[in-house]
Amino acid sequence: MKRAALLLLPAVAGLAVAAPAAGARTVLPCNVDRNAETFVYLRAKPAACTILPATASFSQGIWLVHIRWRSWGGSAARASARSKSFHPGQFRPGQRDWVPVFIVAYRRQRCEDGTRWYSRVREYWRYHGRTYRRTFRTDTARC
């Protein structure tokens, strides 16, 4: 019995070392445009975020403000926000309204340092009784 316990102890110790750190940070890559250069910042629970995939125009990205996270750190993070991205049918010339949206960040990936990041963001909004959605890939330049 003692021999079985001694043989099992190194196996359990090996599992403990291989497991990810309990406090592994989960982030969302957000873009910031400064002097015609785009930088990617990894932010945990951002209150505002612009998601612009590499080599994409602004109409192919999403600009979020007033983000209120309902969940964070799991396989999917959910939030409500305001978006000023291109929403077909929402804007008239000269109109500058923010559209209320619901967002889901999902498909977590792992950086070399153990940090986890959401690689997809899906945006939902309602217009004339219909629910629309768009999916965006986040920039991975920082991992």
* pLDDT, tens digit, 9 for 90 and up, residues 1-19: 445 444 444 444 443 333 4
The tokens for 107 are 């498909």
Structure confidence at residue 137 (pLDDT): 87
Per-domain boundaries in the chain = 24-137
Report CA dihedral (40, 66, 73, 31) to the nearest 10 degrees.
-10
24-28, 46-50, 67-71, 97-101: least confident range: 97-101
Q: Are 97 and 82 in contact (CB under 8 A)?
A: no
pTM confidence score: 0.74
Q: Give the ranges where the chain is alpha helix by DSSP (H).
A: 2-18
**Summary mean pLDDT of the chain:** 77
